[in-house]
Amino acid sequence: MSKQGAKLTDTFRQSRADATHGPAGKKAAAQRAAPAPSAAAAAAAAAAAAPAHSLQQQAEADEAALRQFDLDTRFGPCTGITRLQRWERAAKLGLDPPAEVPELVRRHGEASDFNRDLFAPGKI
pLDDT recorded at residue 120: 80
* Span 25-70, pLDDT tens digits: 555 555 555 444 444 445 455 555 556 678 899 999 999 999 999 9
Segment 94-103 shows an average pLDDT of 95
Q: Is residue 87 part of a domain?
A: yes
Which pLDDT score is estimated for 101? 95
Number of domains in the chain: 1
27: in domain = no
Residue 63 lies in a domain: yes
To 5 degrees, how large is the angle CA 91–CA 96–CA 100? 85
Residue type at position 18: D
Asked whether residue 110 is domain-assigned, the answer is yes
In a domain, 38, yes or no: no
pLDDT for 15 beyond 90? no
**Residue 92: inside a domain:** yes
Residue ranges of the alpha helices (H) in the chain? 8-11, 22-33, 39-71, 83-92, 100-108
- Secondary structure tally for the chain: helices H, strands E: 5, 0
**Residue 77 lies in domain:** 49-115
pLDDT-derived band at 8, boundaries 50, 70, 90: low
Q: Cα–Cα distance between 63 and 59 in angstroms, integer?
A: 6
Q: Is residue 7 part of a domain?
A: no
Q: What percent of the chain has pLDDT over 70?
A: 56
Give me the pLDDT at residue 9, please. Answer: 65
In angstroms, rounded to a whole number, what is the distance separating the alpha carbons of residues 62 and 116? 13
Q: In the structure, what pLDDT confidence band is assigned to residue 12 with cuts at 50, 70 and 90?
A: low
20 within a domain of the structure (yes/no): no
